[in-house]
Amino acid sequence: MTHASNKAYKEKLYGWLSYAFASEVFVIVSLTLFLPICLEQFARDNGYLLPDKTERCSAIKATAEALPPRCVVRIAWFWIDSASFSLYVYSISVALQALTVISMGGIADHPPHRKRLLLTFAFFGSLAATVFFVLSSSSPVWILAAPLAMIANVGFGASIVAMNAYLPSLAKASPEVAAIRQQMLSSTDGDDDSDPSSTAPSDSNDIEAPLIQSPSSMQATHTSPLQKKYDEELSRATSRISSLGIALGYAAGIALLIVALVPITKLHGSTFALRLAIGMSGVWWLVFSIPAALWLPGAKEADGRDDAEWSRSDEEWNTRREIVKAWKRLGAMLRPHEIKRLRNTFKYLAAWFLLSDGFTTITSTAILFGKTSLNMQPSALILIGVLTPSSGIAGSLLWPILQRRLKWSNLKILVTLVLMASAVPAYGCLGFLSVFQGDGLRFGGLTTQGEMYVLAVYFGAVYGAFQGYARAFYAELLPPGEEARWYALFSITDKSSSFVGPLIVGLIADLSGNIRYAFFFLVVMIWASVPVLLCVDVERGRRDAQQYRYTVSG
């Protein structure tokens, strides 16, 4: 790798990592912690107490010893529980995110538009979060908090799709992979009987190009030790860069949570303090996106195309046509015939739909339960927000060590983690029993704030490991050379299917008046995924994936 190309690679890598550092803060600080409780507080500040609906909820100060009275807010013609309001907003936002992510997939794969797309969604998403600085719950337009939260969530999800589109080309351009590619090119040059185009990996940066060549595209020379070394190093580079981005994002989120702890503690967890935390995440997101704007390549990337080729490409470009094409491609992948050919891959996606929705809903429900039922102060919720990702880092490191010692398969580890995660809502269900309570002492069934801290550490350790194994197991069931489009489907299921759980939990809270009943639903939802997981035949799934060829129908 020349000095110039090495410098260009480092700039692109630093730009990509800077956006991971910028955007993940919104998830850790706002999306999973302060945004749900802020929306609930907005609704509570404008709501009324049941059953008369005449006394303002803000007139009653909840205490740790007494269950707070039920509060409802009027939205249009409906009275909605204050906790359900937050869940409904989140549910709608992820549904909108799903529509956006599917529609923009083809545009994000086009380098001249990718950076523009990332920065546009990042700007509007971070701006929407920043507006919480000035939007008071006492304002006559307080309801704007709902669309602002939706815009911020959609902006984050869409920008991440564009960000992930850079990952394959980053891995191919890494020094380790580039060095092996150069060896393969040199080896090919010395063999007059071989075809260089068939032996050496392509330098193309096109995301549609296979990340690792499929068997059908390989000639006999592709099975050489050098080709195998190239494939393995490319795989390691991809996971290494991705993991580094996740680690930086987690570190940034924890850092801002610690910073936000000071004003929130001094302001005693007021609504303004919650708005301040969300606004800070928006400013962080916006400011640290600037290096990405400077360093990420734009219309012209080092992919072998010249300006004339990009000009012709732009002349033929039509955004509406690309959106329609993206939906057609998704429809083609989901045809019954295609599902049958990759039945084990789709079985896992069905399980993943339940699991990603369930894990996300456990997080949001636990935060709202801690605020509304255990009367936890925002400073206490910040501590939970720090404990969970911190233990998640530890869990992701310790579980692989445990797996090597036990010699368990990825599937067995995954099922074990799922069952362990279901223990969290199951423990919350025990709160309906009177055991462990008496003589002024309450403990067990998630009835005290101290239990929330313990469960935060436990759930974080499980969830951190679960995320890593979920992606690793899915990778075993993917057709070689088609990783990008199948990980896009995985991402849609992961990020954009999580509206069912919050919607049902919101309905349960509305109908019962007690969000604790939602724990029963979460237990059933998590357990329902286990039989589906156990039905996945890993060996057959690998063989089917190796033989699969994707074709686009006219």
pLDDT in tens, 70-104: 788 888 888 888 878 887 898 888 888 878 877 87
Whole-angstrom distance, CA of residue 229 vs CA of residue 223: 10
Whole-angstrom distance, CA of residue 351 vs CA of residue 510: 28
Amino acid symbol at 504 = I
- Entry pTM: 0.71
> Reduced to 3 states, what is the DSSP secondary structure of residue 500?
helix
pLDDT tens digit sequence for 178-225:
888 888 777 765 555 444 444 445 444 443 444 444 444 444 444 467
Pick from 329, 301, 327: nearest CA to 313? 301
pLDDT surpasses 50 at 305: no
Least confident of 305-314, 371-380, 463-472, 527-536: 305-314
Pick from 32, 44, 45: nearest CA to 82? 44
**Cβ contacts of residue 539 below 8 Å, gap of 6+?**
none
pLDDT at 60: 67
pLDDT at 199: 46
Give the domains, in start order, of the chain with CATH numbers. Answer: 1-57+71-184+221-301 (1.20.1250.20), 332-554 (1.20.1250.20)
Whole-angstrom distance, CA of residue 375 vs CA of residue 368: 10
Q: In the predicted model, what is the mean pLDDT of residues 397-402?
A: 78
More confident residue, 134 or 158: 134
pLDDT at 119: 93
Query: What value does the mean pLDDT of the chain take?
Result: 77
pLDDT at 133: 92
pLDDT surpasses 60 at 323: yes
Are the C-beta atoms of residues 17 and 244 closer than 8 Å to each other?
Answer: yes
pLDDT tens digit sequence for 19-61:
989 998 998 888 877 888 889 889 888 888 877 777 888 766 6
Whole-angstrom distance, CA of residue 458 vs CA of residue 292: 35
Whole-angstrom distance, CA of residue 183 vs CA of residue 204: 17
Whole-angstrom distance, CA of residue 452 vs CA of residue 394: 19
More confident residue, 78 or 491: 78
Whole-angstrom distance, CA of residue 217 vs CA of residue 211: 12
More confident residue, 282 or 336: 282
Q: Which run of H or E residues covers position 232?
A: helix 225-266
Whole-angstrom distance, CA of residue 201 vs CA of residue 208: 14
Whole-angstrom distance, CA of residue 523 vs CA of residue 7: 51
Separation in Å, CA 237 to CA 57, 231, 244, 295, 414: 54, 10, 10, 20, 24
More confident residue, 550 or 462: 462
Amino acid symbol at 487 = Y
pLDDT at 469: 75
Separation in Å, CA 460 to CA 137, 392, 421, 429, 449: 32, 4, 9, 20, 17
C-alpha 231: how far from chain center: 27
**Cβ contacts of residue 174 below 8 Å, gap of 6+?**
9, 237, 241
